[in-house]
Amino acid sequence: MAEFRHIPLDLIDDPAAPARMQPDDPDILGLAESIAGVGLINPITVRPRGGRFEVVAGHRRLLACRAIGYDPVPCIVQEGDDEVADKAMLAENVARKDLSPIEEACMLKELQDRYNYGYGTLAKVTGRSQGWVQDRLRLLNLPADLQKAVHEGKLPVSTAFVLAEVDDEATRREWTLRVIKEGVSAKTVKLWVGAYRDAKAAQEAVEEMDLAAETLEVEQPKGQCWVCKGRHTYDRLKAVLVCRWCYIELLKAMQGGAHGVRDQRSADSGGAGDAGEGGAEVGKAGGEGGDTVRRAEEGAV
């Protein structure tokens, strides 16, 4: 139910969540001059609030009336639940041309949180598409510097969304200032961001390869110990320089051969038969170890 009344100016309060407006804005001062000349043709819509009245629709008109002391103020007093009044306020504010996209987003978000409205309901209330509603609400997820630039009218909404893809804050701020100063188009900014993402992906790939190289365990070559028969990396194996006679003695000891070795030095001076006989005796031990000793003895002759 609505009732037309003239209400004293000092009994009318601003909306609970007003859009950002200043009494000295040029548009409001121009509206004040118009009201001073012809009066307030379109009444302000208000709702009762504890003996006072809160603006539902017409906040700019109220500020203009205050600027010139226009009193009393023609009003439509709207009785009913808050949801109906909030819908009316949102519809009027979104229809205005002086609100920034960020201010519109804040109003949508407030109504969404208060009444759990979805995109479809908000679109019906505002008379806009669901895509428009979604884009406006996405603005509230932008970094603070981009929100500020959009709010001040320095940066188009489409360009702000593209710049938001740059996750390096210093780079994003530098590009934002350049876009504002040079008027770079959103299409050009997309090319910047695409090159930035490609370069970042390449750098990440190089870093991953470096990390993999650091953590990769390279299989080291190994050799067999003659004593324990175990396989070890070569940094754990030791080389021992011995003459061929001591080499034969070592082989015999490792294979459990006879202790002591004949003086093979005499074999060098004509005792080849003895050396052959010694090799045969060692060869009787059989197996791989005996063959090794025999070959070593034969090579020593």
- Cβ–Cβ < 8 Å for 190, 175: no
Distance between first and last Cα of the chain: 127
Using alpha carbons, select from 19, 64, 3 the residue that is nearest to residue 38. 64
For residues 58 and 44, what is the distance between their CA atoms, to the nearest angstrom?
Answer: 5
For residues 191 and 170, what is the distance between their CA atoms, to the nearest angstrom?
Answer: 18
Tell me the pLDDT tens digit for each residue of 164-201.
999 999 999 999 999 999 999 999 999 999 999 888 88
Tell me the pLDDT tens digit for each residue of 213-269.
666 656 778 888 877 878 888 778 777 777 888 888 877 877 764 444 344 444 444
DSSP H helices in the chain: 26-38, 59-68, 82-95, 101-115, 119-126, 130-138, 144-151, 157-163, 169-182, 186-215, 244-254, 264-268, 272-283, 287-300
Q: Is the pLDDT of residue 275 over 50?
A: no
Tell me the pLDDT tens digit for each residue of 255-272.
764 444 344 444 444 444
Cα 60–chain centre separation = 41
CA 278 to each of CA 149, 262, 264, 275, 296: distance values in angstroms, whole numbers, following the listed order: 100, 8, 9, 5, 11
| Stretch (H or E) spanning 102 | helix 101-115
Which tokens hold the place of 259? 């202790």
Q: Which residue has the higher pLDDT, 125 or 97?
A: 125
Number of residues that make up the chain: 301
For residues 60 and 44, what is the distance between their CA atoms, to the nearest angstrom?
Answer: 9
For residues 158 and 150, what is the distance between their CA atoms, to the nearest angstrom?
Answer: 10
Tell me the pLDDT tens digit for each residue of 24-48.
567 788 889 989 988 888 888 888 9
